[in-house]
Chains A and B, each alone.
Chain A
Amino acid sequence: MGKELLKKALGWANEKKGSPQERMPQPEEKRPLSTNWDENQKNLREVFSQCADAVFQETSFNADQPLRILLVYLETLTDQAQISQTIIKSLQQGPLELPDEVSVSPATAPEVLQKHVLSACHPQTSADLLELTKLVLGGNIGILIEESPLAVVVPAQGGQARAINEPENEPNIRGPRDGFVESLKTNISLIRRRLRTSRLKVETLEVGLLTKTAVAVCYVEGLAQPEMVEEVRRRLRRIDVDAVLGSGYIEEFIADEAISLFPLVLTTERPDRVTAALLEGRVAILVENSPSTMVVPCTFISLLQASEDYYVTAPFSTFIRLLRFVALNIALLLPAVTVAVFSFHQELVPITLLSTVANTRQDVPLPIFIEVLLMEITFELLREAGLRLPKTIGQAVSTVGGLVIGQAAVEAGYVSPLPVIVVALTAIASFTAPNYIVGTSIRILRFFLLILAAMLGGVGIMLGLMAILAHLTALRSFGIPYLSPFAPLSPADLKDTFVRAPWWAMITRPRLDGVREPQRQDPDQGPQKPEDSGTRKGRQRS
C-alpha cells in the first residue's frame, strides 16, 4: 500500500543506525558510593568536571563531633537563597534537640540530617553516584557526608521561569486568561486548580536520553478509557530519542499516521481547554519546557472549536462556529473556485460581473491561474516574513506588501484586481481558524486544489476534495476516527459540533468509543419560566 511504500522510502533515506546502545554508550546501571570520603569527592568532581555552573561547597555539620560536608548543586537550577539561608545555616547550627539515644557518627549522620536537621526540606537519601548525579541535574542539592556511603538529597529547584500570562496564540474575551508556561509543575497546577478531584491522575515519565525531559500524562480516572491511557503510555515509552525540545517532537512520534497533512493531536496553551478535554474523557500530555500541551484523541471538529465558544451564549457560539466553517471553506476553495469558474465555467458568472472582470483583465498578460498562483505565493511570502521578523520591522513588511505589491501591481496592470481581492479574502478567512496548525494544513491543500482546478476546472476540484475526504475519513487519532461524530455518525454528539448546545443541554459526554460515565449532568436543568401561580405562592410563603 501507499503508506507502506512511503514508510519504506523514508526508511531508506535514514537507514537504521543501530540500537541505542550502539548509538550512545550507556553508563553502567549502578555505581554505589563508597565510604571513602576522598574517593567519593573525586568521583563526583569528575562527573561534573568542566561544568561551570556546578558548585562544590564545603562546610561542616556541627554536631558533637563535626563532620565534613560537601554540597553539590547546579547554581543555574537551584534557589540560591534557600541554600544559603536554610540548608547551610541549619547544617552549621547542627541538630537543635536530639533524642538521647541518637549520636552523630558517619553511619548515622544521613538519618540525623534527614529526620532532625533538614526535615523541613523533605530530603531523601541516595546510595548511588549515578542516581545522585541525576538528582543534582534535576535541581536538587546533593549533600555528601564524610565517611558515609549515603548522600542526602534536598530539593531546591529554582531559577528563572516565565510568569503565567495570556497565551498569545489563543486569546480570549470572556473566560480565564491564564496560559501554560514552560514549567511542568506550574502547568499541572493550572489544571489541578480547575479539577480539584483525586480522580485527576498525573503520571510522569522521562523521554530523551540527553534531555531527560519530563512528560506528564493527565487523565480523569473513570472518564478516560483505561485502554486509551495505556495506549498513550505505550506510545510514549516507545519513544527513544536523544532530545525532546518541545511537544512537537513527541507529537510526531505518537501520531497514528506516518505522514498526515492534518494534526492528529490537539495542541493548546489554554489550561481551561485542556481541562474541558479531560472532562470529555481525553488524555492530556504535558511536556516539560513546552507551553503547548497535547490532547488526544483529536477530532477534526475540535480543531475548529475555541474555548471561547463555551463562555459566550449558545446561539452566538453556534453562529461563530458556522462562520468559521464557511471561512474554512473559503480559505480552502476560493482561489481554486475562482480559477475554475473563470477559465472553465464562465456560464456560472452573471453576465454583468463577467464583463466587468473581462474589462479589468483586458491588458493583463497572464492567465488567471498564474495570476492567482503568483498572488498566493506573494501572500505566503509576506505572511512568513511578517511572522519571523521583529514586530517593529513587521509593520514595514505589511506596508510593502499591501501598498507596493498589491496596489502598484494592479495600477501598473501586471495583475488584475480580481486575484488580489480573492487572495485578500482567502487570507482573512484563513485567519479565523482557531488552531494555527489546521490553518497550515489548509494552506497546503489550497495550492493542491488550485493546481487541480487549473487542470480540470470544477471536476478537478471535486477530485481533490474526494481525495481529501478519503484522507480525512481514513485518519484516526488514538483509534478514534478523525471525522467522528460525522462519519461514523453519532447523532447525540452533534450537539457540540457546528452548533453548540446550551450547557444545560450538554447532558452526555461525547461518545469517544464508549465513555464509561456517559452522563455529565442531570437532564432536567433547563431554565424555566416561573409559573405565575408558582411565583405568587412563593412570594406569599416568604
Chain B
Amino acid sequence: MSLLSSILIGLVMGMVFGIALEKSRVFEAGMIVGQMQLRNFTMLKVFLTAVATGAVVLAAMHGLGLIKLAPKATFYTADVVGGLILGAGIALAGACPGTVLAQIGVGYRDALFTLVGGLAGAMAFSYLEPTLRPMLLTGGPGKLTFVELTGISYEVLALGFAAVLVVALVALERWRPWKSDLGTDVDGDFGPTEQAAGARGAHLKAAE
C-alpha cells in the first residue's frame, strides 16, 4: 500500500469513525465524565460494542487466514501506571486521544488545548523514552494473549468473549436504556432536568 493510498484510506476510515462518534455522542465531555462518574453509560456501550464487533470480525478474518494479529507486548508496570495516568487524563479532558479530534471538528475550543497538551505530553514521553525503556519497557512476557494463557484457539475464545459482551450489553440496556442517557440537547449534557429543577427552586425562593 503506497503512502498516498494509506492516507486516503485513513481519511475515509476516520470520517466514518468521526460520524459514529458524533452521532452516538460518545465524544462529548458529558458522556466521558458521566461514564467515569458512573452516571451515564453511553461510553461503555459504544466501547464494548466496538470490542465485541472487532472480536467477531478478527476471529473470522483470522480463521480464514487473511490476517496476522498484532497484540501489544505486556510490560506490567508500564501498563498499570500508564493506564492510570491515561485514565486520569481522559476524565479531566472529557475525551480520549482520538475523540479530541471529534470535539475539535464540532467546534469545542477547549479541545484545541487538549490537543496541544497531548502533543506536548507525547513529546515529553518521547524525550524520556530512552531513560524509561530499560526500567519499564524491557523484559516482560512479550506479546502475551489469553490464547497462550488458556490454550484455547483465538477464534473460539474471541467469539466466546464477544458472546459474553453481548449478554452484558443486553443486561446493561435493560437496566439503562440508551435513550435515557442522551440528554435533552445534542451537547452531551444529560443532567439539565436536575439542574433546571434546581434553578426553578432557586427562582421560586427568590420570588417569595
Instruction: Determine if chain A interacts with chain B.
Output: no
Q: B residues bordering A, Cβ < 8 Å?
A: none
Interface residues of A (CB under 8 A from B): none
